[in-house]
Chains A and B, each alone.
Chain A
């Protein structure tokens, strides 16, 4: 485990290496699905951006899965994803924003679990 001091220095370096700026308002969450934009230029990124894109080549993943596979804390990957979304490389599928779950979603979950 690296110390907090080291970690904080490392993080902005990642962003700089990937040539990303962090947007002011970030809507990326743990369960946000991310995938590569169809028309995105995916070459020329430095790690860890290039690692993230390699991970997403097979299809969408949640931000949390990306963090685990990259071996980086969620708070780092969240910024990385936000930067790449801002640059048009990644697209997202956001989780439902409502506090009260949608009845249709609940039915999908129940039917799916019962059918397993």
Chain B
């Protein structure tokens, strides 16, 4: 809490903008939120019922047991806007939380790992079902096989217009380049 009080603050004139970073466990979500965030990334809990429903009206919840899922949270203040980054696992059993997280978001950066490409399918299903704009960044690990991006695009069955790039989640410049590619894509979609 002490660190919070010495944090830089945004002004109430900043427009809050939400960006979601999604991908399976171990893909680099916590790392990329840390690389982009101006504050020490925060870890918060979302409370859900076992059925996957969000607990948002606590007085109305009766005897269902609850479960929690951790979210990485970071902030990046830019002139006029403040970006809020939400790193979320994108599990299909948390569909309701997912729908709420992406609602109103500018877009989703999906992180993929070519060592376990099939683990990205669930996340892509969620993103596409939600109808939210997205880009895909492939994090390269020392033992990643060297597939050309075109074959990754095929394996993930991505639209030819969906941005797909290689990213090093530990490197702020690389992380920013991925966000820029996502936002440029969203701008093209909005303008078309």
Contact = CB atoms under 8 A, between A and B. Distances in A.
Interface of A: 1, 3-5, 7-8, 11-12, 22, 29-33, 35, 51, 54-55, 57-62, 64-65, 67-70, 73-76, 78-79, 91, 93-97, 99-101, 103, 105-116
B81 A7 contact: no
A23 to B, nearest CB: 12
Given A33-B12, A75-B47, A79-B58, A62 B84 contact: yes
A99 to B, nearest CB: 7
A12 B151 CA distance: 53
A111 B75 contact: no
Judged by DSSP, the binding face of B is mixed
Interface string B153-192: 0000000000000000000000010011001101100110
A112 B45 contact: no
Contacts of A60: 9-12, 14
Contact of B16 (A5, A32, A57, A79): A32
Interface stretch (B61-69, B110-118, B121-129): B61-69
Contacts, number: 163
Judged by DSSP, the binding face of A is helix
B78 A4 contact: no
B4 A67 contact: no
Interface residues of B, number: 57
B56 interface: yes
Nearest to A59: B9
15 contacts: A4-B66, A30-B18, A31-B16, A33-B14, A35-B12, A60-B11, A61-B4, A68-B44, A69-B1, A96-B104, A108-B78, A112-B79, A113-B176, A113-B180, A114-B180
